[in-house]
Every structure is written in C-alpha cells, then in structure tokens.
Amino acid sequence: MTSLLIRGRVLSFRREPESVDDLESCLHEEDGAVLVRDGKIVAVGDFAVVRTQAGGVVEIADHRPHLILPGFIDAHVHFPQMQVIASYGAELLDWLNDYTFPEESKFADAQHGRRVARLFLDEAVRQGTTTVAAYCSVHKASAEAFFEESHARNMLNIAGKVMMDRNAPEALRDTPQTGYDDTKALIAEWHGRGRQLYAITPRFAITSTPEQMEMAGALTAEHPDCHVQTHLSENHAEIRWAEELYPQAKDYTDIYARYGLLGGNSLFGHCIHLSEREADAMSESGSVAVFCPTSNLFLGSGLFDYHRYRRRGKPLRVASATDVGGGTNYSMLRTMDEAYKVVALQGEKLNPLQSFWQLTRGNAEALSIADRAGTLEPGTDADIVVLDASATPAMKVRMETVTTLAQELFLLQTLGDDRAVREVYVAGKAAKGALLHP
Ligand code: GUN
Ligand code: ZN
C-alpha cells in the first residue's frame, strides 16, 4: 500500500495558546513530516523518525521550506452568495432584500446550484479551506448540489437547506411542513454519507414563523447529532424586529432557546450585541458564537468582542468565519487579519498563535469535529494546507526581518491570501494543483 509522506515545517495545535510565546501549545517541527495512508494521518513529527515509520513504498511530497498546517475551517458561509459578494451600499436588512434574496432565487434552477457549488468549493480549496459550514438556499436542490459536489471531492463539509417561510419573496419561502420534510429527506440522504454532515438551518427568527421554529426544534430533537446553524444579534434593526416578532421572548437569544435550538451543536452567526444574560445562556448551553469580521465591518454591523466572550466567567465557544457574501473574502487568512483589527479597535490584541489555533483546531472544536479535522494528529483525516510566507515580493522582503514562528504567522495573516497557499490536501489527495483553474 502506497503511503504519502508530506515533508516540511509542521505546525499543529494541541490546545488553545495562552500567549504569543506559548509554543508549548503546539507541535512544531522545523524538519517535519506527516505520513498519510488511506486519507488519514498515521504519523506526524520529525522527518527522520516519521520516515522510518513509513516503511516500504512511500511517495514523498517535499514542501520545504513551507509550513504544513491542518486545512482551514470556515464556520459560516453562504455558498449561493458568490454573486452577492461586493454588493454596494446597504446594511443587513436592505442588503438581504436588495441583493441576497434576488440572487438566492436563482437557485430554484438545479443546474445553477450545481455550477455555483462547484465554483464555490474550488474557491474554498484554492484558499486553503478544507471544511466549511455552509448555508444553501431554501431550495432542496441547492443542498443536493452542494452535497454532491462536496462528496465527489471527499471533503468534510457541513451544510443545510435554509428554512424560511416569511418576510422574504414568495419564491424563496417554504412552509413549516415542506421545510421539515425537505430537511428530513436531506438528512436521511446526506448526513453521515462519506464525510458529509447536515446542519438544520432556519435562516433567522425574522424569516421563520413560530410554526416553522417549532418544526426546526422538532428536527433538532429528532437529530441531536446534526448541527444547527442560524443568525443571531448581528444588527440593531434586526434585533428590534426579531424581538417584535416574538414578544414573549426575553431577548433575541431566548427566541432560539424557546424552540430548543441552543446547544453544543448550534452555531450562531455574528452574536455581536449579546447582553450578559444572552451570553450566559449561550455559554450554559454550549452554543457557539461565530465571529465573521469582514462581514461585520462591510455591513457596518458592529465589533465582535472576542476577548470579552472568551475571558468572561462563563466563556463562550467561539468560531471564526468568512460569511461570504456579506463577508468580503474567501480567505481565512484575510479573515483573521480583519479579526485582528476588530479586536484592536476594542483596545486588545489577537495574537498570531491564537489566530492560527482559531482557524484550525479552534474552529474544529467549535464544530465538534476535532477528532477528524483541525489538527495533524494521527487518526484524523488528512486535510492539510501548505503555506508559503514568501509568496509575493512584498511578503518576501518582509520575511527577511522575521526571526520567530509567531512573526511568520502574523506576516502570513497580514499579507497573505490564496497566493500563500502552495498546496492543499483533501483526505490525503493533493487538491489545489488538481483544480482546472487554480
Ligand atoms: N441574516 C440572515 N440571513 C443572512 C445572510 O445571508 N447574511 C448575513 N450576514 N446575515 C444574515
Ligand atoms: Zn450568514
């Protein structure tokens, strides 16, 4: 049996770093290697040691002097918004009505969905992202298209058909019953098939009636191993409207709580303006707050207080994400650069070890998939990214003065994008070089 030995400067986090000097938090080998067999990592560490473990037939991919990390994870993205990204001049609710809903209507056409799913996953891989938690459109066919493309590439992705039955154009509305039935059928067909995972996806409280929220709660109770994904506390007008629509709820978070939608598999996009009570409810239920910095800046939504959430007495589980097409870039490097600035605007710093932990192991833990992705630990799937911190002339000249790993990571995050991504392995197979239009 042929094994693949991926050689380079290996970096994988064991736990969340406590400071910019906390190299104990990671496995770091300057002449390292990852041994891959049947799509899984079987050994990692010093090259000479791993080479002897590899035994007989072994193919070597020599990526020295580049860094080898777990593939990036994007915890919140809308694949039908590839033609929404870069839409000018609106805050959330107008942006949804003027740009997003018209584009998502086109996904009634299954061919369109398939084409965009293909382009979307190509783009994710080009950017070093090997796992996404994706919103599809309301149309069942859009989720089928996404899963078919994802499965064909053997990617570990989480996705779901959006449920929305009010406050949206007729063509984009399902009903409590059809939303339930389509979701149920998609779970039966796709959840756990190959590497695919299903997320029950009520878009947000504004676009679901109480009847549909009941159905989403029923699905969540019936499928506790599925994820739940929705939006929470992104924009002040949105918060006001959601609270008006559910006057019996204590606050926006309580709307979801009342329908049984909080929990350890629940991913809440944005969570910018949570009260202490809401943050407690999120923490106590193990729910995840998803930080989408480029989107929050682009739509003028507000500043996610990363350190407040992480350091409070009852800390929140936090993930990071692009939120394309409210977000403005597919790259998780660009995303963490903007995350740094959002944190800086609040008088704090997000250190580069923490950033790279977040977009690998941190996001995997937040999505409860760290046993499969987000690290280079033996037994996990071989989703890997190879990064070149000298990829452009500007990066190269800056690298001349870099003396530590943390500085190199910060340079990658600040100046890097898809050009810094030299190769991507999806379940052990080189995927970036294999793209038709890399
Ligand atoms: N809230 C409800 N739907 C959306 C969406 O598509 N993008 C963003 N950023 N927020 C939302
Ligand atoms: Zn979103």
Going from the C-alpha of 12 to that of each of 187, 215, 412, the distances in angstroms are 32, 40, 16
Going from the C-alpha of 292 to that of each of 100, 247, 296, 318, the distances in angstroms are 17, 28, 6, 11
Strand partners, 424: 385
Q: Is the pLDDT of residue 18 over 90?
A: yes
- Verify whether ligand 1 is closer than 6 Å to residue 71 (CB atom): no
Question: Taking the chain, what is the end-to-end CA distance rounded to the nearest angstrom?
Answer: 29
pLDDT at 388: 98
pLDDT at 51: 95
Find, among 33, 64, 9, the residue nearest to 378 by Cα: 33
- Verify whether ligand 1 is closer than 6 Å to residue 129 (CB atom): no
d(CA 207, CA 246) in angstroms, rounded, equals 12
- Verify whether ligand 1 is closer than 6 Å to residue 78 (CB atom): yes
In the chain the domains, ranked by start, together with CATH numbers, are: 3-71+375-430 (2.30.40.10), 72-366 (3.20.20.140)
Which ligand 1 atom lies nearest to the CA of residue 326? 9
Phi, psi of 437 (to 5 degrees): -125, 70
The ipTM, to two decimals, is: 0.99
Q: Is the pLDDT of residue 253 over 70?
A: yes
The confidence band for 182, taking pLDDT boundaries of 50, 70 and 90, is: very high
- Verify whether ligand 1 is closer than 6 Å to residue 76 (CB atom): no
pLDDT at 56: 82
Residue-wise pLDDT for 292-338, tens only, equals 999 999 999 999 999 999 999 999 999 999 999 999 999 999 999 99
Interacting residues of 115 by C-beta distance below 8 A, sequence separation 6+? none
Residue-wise pLDDT for 69-98, tens only, equals 999 999 999 999 999 999 999 999 999 999
pLDDT at 302: 98
Mean pLDDT for 158-181 is: 98
- Verify whether ligand 1 is closer than 6 Å to residue 326 (CB atom): yes
pLDDT at 324: 98
Q: Is the pLDDT of residue 436 over 70?
A: no
pLDDT at 55: 86
Q: Is the pLDDT of residue 437 over 60?
A: no
- Verify whether ligand 1 is closer than 6 Å to residue 305 (CB atom): no
Which 8-state DSSP code applies to residue 65?
E
Going from the C-alpha of 317 to that of each of 127, 265, 279, 285, 333, the distances in angstroms are 25, 11, 10, 10, 21
The confidence band for 238, taking pLDDT boundaries of 50, 70 and 90, is: very high
Q: Is the pLDDT of residue 227 over 80?
A: yes
Quote the ligand 2 centre to 405 CA distance (angstroms).
33
Q: Is the pLDDT of residue 438 over 70?
A: no
Find, among 280, 227, 270, the residue nearest to 250 by Cα: 280
Q: Tell me which amino acid residue 403 is.
A: T
The confidence band for 429, taking pLDDT boundaries of 50, 70 and 90, is: very high
- Pick from 162, 167, 231 the residue to mutate for probing ligand 1's pocket: most ligand atoms within 8 Å of its CB: 231
d(CA 435, CA 12) in angstroms, rounded, equals 26
Quote the ligand 2 centre to 209 CA distance (angstroms).
19
Quote the ligand 2 centre to 76 CA distance (angstroms).
6
d(CA 307, CA 328) in angstroms, rounded, equals 23
Residue-wise pLDDT for 272-282, tens only, equals 999 999 999 99
Find, among 249, 264, 142, the residue nearest to 203 by Cα: 142
pLDDT mean across residues, the chain: 97
- How many residues does the structure list for the chain? 438
- Pick from 76, 94, 172, 234 the residue to mutate for probing ligand 1's pocket: most ligand atoms within 8 Å of its CB: 234
Which ligand 1 atom lies nearest to the CA of residue 100? 6
Quote the ligand 1 centre to 96 CA distance (angstroms).
7
pLDDT at 2: 80
Mean pLDDT for 408-412 is: 98
- Verify whether ligand 1 is closer than 6 Å to residue 204 (CB atom): yes
- Verify whether ligand 1 is closer than 6 Å to residue 295 (CB atom): yes
Residue-wise pLDDT for 37-74, tens only, equals 999 999 999 999 999 998 887 899 999 999 999 999 99
pLDDT at 1: 62
CB 65 within 8 A of CB 425: no
Mean pLDDT for 106-114 is: 98
Q: Tell me which amino acid residue 61 is.
A: A
d(CA 82, CA 86) in angstroms, rounded, equals 9
- Verify whether ligand 1 is closer than 6 Å to residue 95 (CB atom): no
- Verify whether ligand 1 is closer than 6 Å to residue 202 (CB atom): no
Ligand closest to CA 104: 1
Ligand closest to CA 74: 2
